[in-house]
Amino acid sequence: MNDSSSRALLEKLIGFATVSRDSNLEMIAFIRDFLEQHGVESKLFYNDARTKANLFATIGPHDRGGIVLSGHTDVVPVDGQAWTVEPFRMSEHEGRLYGRGAADMKGFIASVLAAVPHFAGRDLRLPVHLAFSYDEEVGCLGVRPMLAELEKRPHKPLLCLIGEPTELKPVLGHKGKLAMRCHVKGAACHSAYAPYGVNAIQYAARLINRLEVIGEQLAHPQHHDERFDPPYSTVQTGVIRGGRALNIVPEECEFDFEVRALPGFDANEVAHHLQDYAEAELVPRMRAVKPDTGIRLQALSAYPGLATSPESEAARLLAQLCGSNEFGTVAFGTEGGLFDQAGIPAVVCGPGSMDQGHKPDEFVTVEQLNACDAMLKRLADHLAQ
């Protein structure tokens, strides 16, 4: 394309309907072609079905660490949302650029691509790496095979900048997440003989109530970390399914719950506590009525929290790029904790606000996009010094 400005690139990127349930390969092919036009080679990391791919590229020397600029290509669905503009066609009004992914987080990817000519045209002493992933929105799943290879490299990147929307304020921390599904197998019978069955919904209700008690314990002030909002780990049940008719004791019930864990708290403790409660208190009562009943927990997804030190080299560079050392945290998760686990310190900073993310009429402002462009030019200057 002739216009490689961040605005023009964002318009193109929004046009790819990369909802997590669908393929991102068309967008990845566009990015790969764009990079090739500027003399930059890239490597793809496919999922098992080869319907999605991560992209990794390096600009500058390959024999040293450098800086990773990371963004996810997938977006959340628009189903059931009351959009007043076309979600997968960018529109502009009063300095706002509208479209699904404008803030979360194609705006950042557009700025990164717009900066490619600046990076490629400089004699960089340290490389810049581009890492674009799939399936971030469904549990930070897609980036993992790409990180597995980065861990093996002799010259591991020095730090990773995750471009999630923070209004370009420097962020060093976020909570981790564990998503679980609980299956309750009861025993059906006519509701007139309810005591002779095992009501799966009622046992699920006891488990959900137990999760609420655990959440109340985690909210005690001694567990608080005031850097976060809310300042404690949380437990929430979000989905429940069960029952077929009012006059049938339900045989099956399942529900999904999540733990949003402060850095340093192992969210699996909640799952272990629930499993222990089920096996000690509930399963014996169920099996006293019907032996083939039970309760089973299934992990759906998980990613770690992030807590980068304000004294780290990554934090110092972020402060330099942003012009601020007022470091914050965010409530939402990112792939940053996974990069950190792979030995690549991570920070979070990107254009737009998550107040617009996942909502109808999502937007990023032109001002924020321009400011991100300027930040990346400062990064190019830093890497060329």
Would you name the residues annotated as active-site residues?
74, 136
End-to-end CA distance of the chain: 30
Could you give the count of Cα atoms lying within 13 Å of 73 in the half-sphere of its Cβ? 31
Assess contact for 287 and 295: CB atoms under 8 A.
no
Helix, strand, coil percent content, the chain, rounded in steps of 5: 35, 25, 40
Cα–Cα distance for residue pair 32/69, rounded to 1 Å: 15
Strand ranges inside 228-344, DSSP E: 234-242, 252-261, 294-303, 306-307, 328-330
Cross-strand pairs, 142? none
| DSSP for 129-157, written as a single string | EEEEES--TTTS-TTHHHHHHHHH-SS--
Cα–Cα distance for residue pair 376/383, rounded to 1 Å: 10
Assess contact for 3 and 10: CB atoms under 8 A.
no
Backbone angles phi, psi at 237, to 5 degrees: -95, 125
Cα–Cα distance for residue pair 257/73, rounded to 1 Å: 26
CA distances from 299 to 69, 181, 257 (A): 30, 6, 10
Assess contact for 348 and 379: CB atoms under 8 A.
no
Assess contact for 327 and 310: CB atoms under 8 A.
yes
